[in-house]
Chains A and B, each alone.
Chain A
Amino acid sequence: MRFAVAHKTATYLMVGFAYLAMTTGGALSPMLSIAGFLAMVVSWWWEPPRIRFEKWQTAWTVASVFALVYAVLTAIVTGDYLGVGGQFLLYLIVAKSFNRRAARDWQQMYLLSFLMLVAGSVLNPDLAYGLCFLGFVISSTWALTLFHLRREMEDNLLVKHAADGGTHRVEVRRILDSRRIIGGRFFLGTGLLSFAVFLGAAAVFLALPRVGIGFFLKSRGGMTLAGFSDGVKLGGHGVIKNDSTVVMRVEIDKRYGGREAPEIHWRGVAFDHYSNGKWTRTMSAPSSDETSKLQVGPVVDRRYWWNGGKVASPSKIDELAEASVRQDVILDPLDSDVLFGASQPTIFEYQHVVRQRKPVGAFNDEMRLHHTGQIRYTVYSELAKPTPEQLRAASGPLPRNFGVYLMLGPEITDRTRALALQITASHSNNYDKAIAIQTWLKNNATYTLVLRDPGGQEAVDFFLFDRKQGHCEYFASAFAVLARAAGIPTRNVNGFLGGEWNEYQSYVAVRAGDAHSWDEVYFPGVGWVTFDPTPPADLDVLGRGGTGWRAKLGRFIDSLRFQWNKWVIEYDLSSQLALLRSIGHAIKGAAMAVKGAIVTAKDQIVEHWPFALPLALPLGWLIWRRVRRRGAADPLTAARGKHRTRSTVAEVYLSVAKSLAKAGVARDAATTPRELATRMTQRGEPAASDVGELTELYYAAEWGGRRDPAAEDKAMQLARAIRATLDAAKRAKR
């Protein structure tokens, strides 16, 4: 490839990757990003001799002033310094790519691309950033190396090019057009270099300890990815959209999350008060602040709340954690600061990053934690449901403040209340009553995503008697109202249902479209139990667990995202410690495995040696040939004439020479055997005289062409003697 073209290509690749790193993820206006990208593509051809830069000088200056003013004003007005900064960077790189004149301009392009990369780290913390980063590393190595060579060459016109005769002054142009400087080997070499740089970067990334100092804490960027509404409002019309954006990824044991496992209700928001079609949390609801805070790790908090019972000791809480199902959740930022967990969650664990996180006041056994970006935490949940017998037998007084769960506003119609009593008339305990209501709803209403405005009518009444169709919020609200009317303490819970099991990384991907609404009923002495009145068969599951190749691909990409989030974005001190521990285990495991493998191999060979032989021979011959050829790399030191058939005495000598070499008396290729013997005699080494005699026999046989059986016998005798002397010397040394 031509030198100049190679340099330009590498630079554009580098800038392109940095550009994509900043703009994918849509933090900056997509239109602007695409326009900028196209402009840069055009700028590839914008160079002399086609274009004269001087002509466009004033135009660019005007444009730059305009852009600067625009950026400053917009930033001040909107306060979004980051976004405006990113847009200004965009303009700068486009402007620079149209003005590539001297070395300085290229340098500025590199600097700008670095700044774009840094900007992208804040604007675009997605998997796409990782891929662009990799591309950036590789192309930057090429680009900067070529840039250096180009600049050096332009500075030093006096360049000679590979010749042993004649020296010519070479023009810069010719070098730039030359194909000989940069060949395939150069790219291979720099490719390997950039790979090594990437590995180095990864190593530094993993190894640098994450201990925050937190001087100037800035919010951790990240935009709200999915709109999860923190309230339930019945009414309105339209069509509920099925949003397939993943909102959280939960690592959970396969038994509970796998494809065959029953769907999990991911509980998040809980409401106690219903009025005029709206569910809200009231201050009079029992607060879930009755939690205890425990230090579990250096910066880890564990929150456990008891429902009216005693505060458990730390060891008891540990036992409870052991007995519960553990989930590791990575939650993408939503409009709410609620944390989700499988029903029923009992313990939450989260790590402080940089600064102590303050839990937010929560009610109705919600767990809220202020966070402004992605967050990672651990939940322990009790998934096992109590048996119906237990629930039927539950009885006792309601805890303090639980009256809110029985309250109904005056707008609830009479026929609603009557219906409630009618459904539950034949049952004596709350459990059977709740089941009856749930069954009635399933049988008498159907699920739909098309909403109709109830107008002035009470929403539940409209649903129960007129429309008889609705989505999960209607079902849940209706259940809660009916249950309360029947005297059963109930509350409405929002969260997500189910999700997609990702077999690549063993986690459940929960999507925005999985948002769901259901209820919880309180049984004194047992606790809150989940009731989901929405008919399951009618739920529009989002291609959950599809097996087509498209679904598999989608899951695979999501698993990459998951990995990215887990190991890069959310990489923290506990991850580092876990990594160190697992590395230690892996090394130990590998060592044991290797030892085991060697032992079994040995046993196998010993057992099956007749079969191994025909395999071993050709293999051994191939290896031996390779080794011989390797030794003949340097023509000066290559053993010439190896095609000669050697005499017996020569073979004997050569094997003795090997023994001597092992004993420390090595002969390098350029020393003659006789010189070696003389050296041994001068140093007074044992066996020196025998070696000398053997050398002379070898000479006579090999160079004199004598084939004498007597000499061969003598040679072998000498060889034995020499080996004996060497062994004796080795033993004496020990």
Chain B
Amino acid sequence: MPAAPAPAPLSSTDIGAVRKLEDAIATIVRGKPEAIRAAVVTLLARGHLLVEDIPGVGKTTLARALAAALGGTFRRIQFTSDLLPSDIVGVSIYDQHGKVFELKRGPIFANVVLADEINRTTPRTQSALLEAMSEGQVSIDDATHTLDTPFMVIATQNPAEHYGTYPLPESQMDRFLLRISIGYPAKAIERELVKLRTGGDPVAALTPVVDLAAVRSLQDGVETIRVDDALVDYAMTIVEETRRHPAISVGVSTRGVLAWYRAAQAAALAAGRDFVVPDDVKSLAVPCLAHRLVLAQHHDSLGRARIDAERLIADIANRVAVPT
């Protein structure tokens, strides 16, 4: 691949745009600034977000609000056990009247795709989605079609359900930049939400605050964020520790380190800086690394595995000296 031209340095208007984006989403998704920040960081880093959470806490709302604030398209794919890859990417359909095969694009051709309950579908279908995520293009009947940019997948897993599920194997989890869980909102917020639920769809009322071109240039700008060598050493120390830790069978891979690096840069940009500080790196350790681990001890439930992995990463991050 030829080297891309060096991206232009960020301007202050670019940086301000991120703040506007977050604020806009925050009017819809109340009381969850970490989740919004994670979504925005993932978007800026050209990554994909995995949300492991119980149903009904606002995953869909977040995705739709994000899409609306961007002025982009939003599609939702509900994964079931009999979903087929063609249901995701699209298919050529035989048009009976015109007697020709017509290309019907699947829901993946959108800016923000919510892949709901991805652990309920067969591995074959999962891999279709994951390949699309990593390649940025799909092939339908031997023809390749590129996806839109910006393109972000927000996938969800329900950690509690076991019946008939196919949880993502660890090798595929690596493709997600961050894994978060939203959880219940604060009591005050929840109470307010219940009272305010007047009806109507607040997301529909949300007007875009940035345009897709601006987002694309922001995504390019992420690569220009300055990262000091000491921070890279810091990150590598943590990663090496995950590879050595006795409770961790397989530690963070190189892809994981690169993802973490990019995510830190995106976080710095989202905070309005053009340099990465140690807090960016440390605060992203758990969301970025925990789902990439293969634990030594086998857990039967997703929830327990997640808690264990997150605890291990948090322990390691709280032991490694921060560069000063």
B-contacting residues of A (Cβ < 8 Å)?
635-641, 644, 650, 654, 669-675, 699-700, 702-705
Query: Can you list 18 A-B pairs, Cβ within 8 angstroms, ordered by A?
Result: A636-B320, A639-B321, A639-B323, A640-B234, A640-B237, A644-B230, A669-B322, A670-B317, A670-B318, A670-B320, A672-B277, A672-B322, A674-B278, A675-B279, A699-B275, A700-B275, A703-B276, A703-B278
| B214-236 CB contacts (< 8 Å) to partner A | 226, 228-231, 233-234
Does B322 lie within 8 Å of A670, measured CB to CB?
yes
Does A641 lie within 8 Å of B233, measured CB to CB?
yes
Chain B residues near A636: list those with CB within 8 A.
Answer: 237, 241, 319-321
Chain A residues near B226: list those with CB within 8 A.
Answer: 703-705
- Chain B 223-259 interface 0/1 with A at a Cβ cutoff of 8 Å (1 = within): 0001011110110010001000000000000000000
Q: How far is the CA of A543 from the CA of B99 in the complex (A)?
A: 136
CB nearest neighbor in A for B227? A703
Also in contact, A704 and B273, with CB within 8 A (given A636-B237, A641-B229, A644-B230): yes
Judged by a CB distance under 8 angstroms, whether B274 is at the interface is: yes
Judged by a CB distance under 8 angstroms, whether B324 is at the interface is: yes
Does A637 lie within 8 Å of B275, measured CB to CB?
no
| B269-321 CB contacts (< 8 Å) to partner A | 273-279, 282, 317-321
CB nearest neighbor in B for A654? B324
CB nearest neighbor in B for A675? B279
Also in contact, A704 and B275, with CB within 8 A (given A638-B321, A670-B320, A670-B321): yes
Give the Cβ gap from B260 to chain A, nearest Cβ, in Å: 16
Give the Cβ gap from B279 to chain A, nearest Cβ, in Å: 5
Chain A residues near B277: list those with CB within 8 A.
Answer: 672, 674, 699, 703
Does A637 lie within 8 Å of B319, measured CB to CB?
yes
Q: How far is the CA of A672 from the CA of B323 in the complex (A)?
A: 8
Task: Identify the interface centre among B274, B276, B278, B321: most chain A CB within 10 Å of its CB.
Answer: B321
Give the Cβ gap from A673 to chain B, nearest Cβ, in Å: 7
Q: How far is the CA of A705 from the CA of B324 in the complex (A)?
A: 13
Does A640 lie within 8 Å of B278, measured CB to CB?
no
Also in contact, A671 and B322, with CB within 8 A (given A703-B277, A703-B278): yes
4 extra A-B contacts, CB within 8 A, seeds A670-B317, A670-B318: A674-B279, A702-B324, A704-B274, A705-B228
Chain A residues near B230: list those with CB within 8 A.
Answer: 640-641, 644
Give the Cβ gap from A636 to chain B, nearest Cβ, in Å: 5
Chain B residues near A635: list those with CB within 8 A.
Answer: 237
CB nearest neighbor in A for B234? A640
Chain B residues near A650: list those with CB within 8 A.
Answer: 324
Give the Cβ gap from B273 to chain A, nearest Cβ, in Å: 7
**Which 10 pairs across A and B sit closest by C-beta, in order of nearness?**
A669-B321, A641-B230, A704-B275, A637-B321, A672-B278, A699-B277, A674-B279, A672-B279, A640-B233, A670-B318
| B86-113 CB contacts (< 8 Å) to partner A | none
Give the Cβ gap from A180 to chain B, nearest Cβ, in Å: 23
Q: How far is the CA of A611 from the CA of B229 in the complex (A)?
A: 44
Give the Cβ gap from B312 to chain A, nearest Cβ, in Å: 15
CB nearest neighbor in A for B231? A703
Chain A residues near B231: list those with CB within 8 A.
Answer: 703
Does A670 lie within 8 Å of B319, measured CB to CB?
yes
Does A639 lie within 8 Å of B324, measured CB to CB?
yes
Does A640 lie within 8 Å of B275, measured CB to CB?
no
Give the Cβ gap from B116 to chain A, nearest Cβ, in Å: 35
Chain B residues near A669: list those with CB within 8 A.
Answer: 320-322
Q: How far is the CA of A636 from the CA of B317 in the complex (A)?
A: 10
Also in contact, A705 and B275, with CB within 8 A (given A641-B230, A672-B282): yes
Q: How far is the CA of A670 from the CA of B279 in the complex (A)?
A: 11
CB nearest neighbor in A for B241? A636
CB nearest neighbor in B for A640? B233
Q: How far is the CA of A546 from the CA of B269 in the complex (A)?
A: 92
Does A673 lie within 8 Å of B324, measured CB to CB?
yes
B323 partner, pick from A640, A675, A700, A705, beta carbons under 8 A: A640
CB nearest neighbor in B for A639? B321
Give the Cβ gap from B243 to chain A, nearest Cβ, in Å: 13
Q: How far is the CA of A639 from the CA of B278 in the complex (A)?
A: 13
Chain B residues near A704: list those with CB within 8 A.
Answer: 226, 273-275
CB nearest neighbor in B for A671? B322
Q: How far is the CA of A501 from the CA of B28 in the complex (A)?
A: 104
Does B279 lie within 8 Å of A637, measured CB to CB?
no
Give the Cβ gap from A435 to chain B, nearest Cβ, in Å: 95
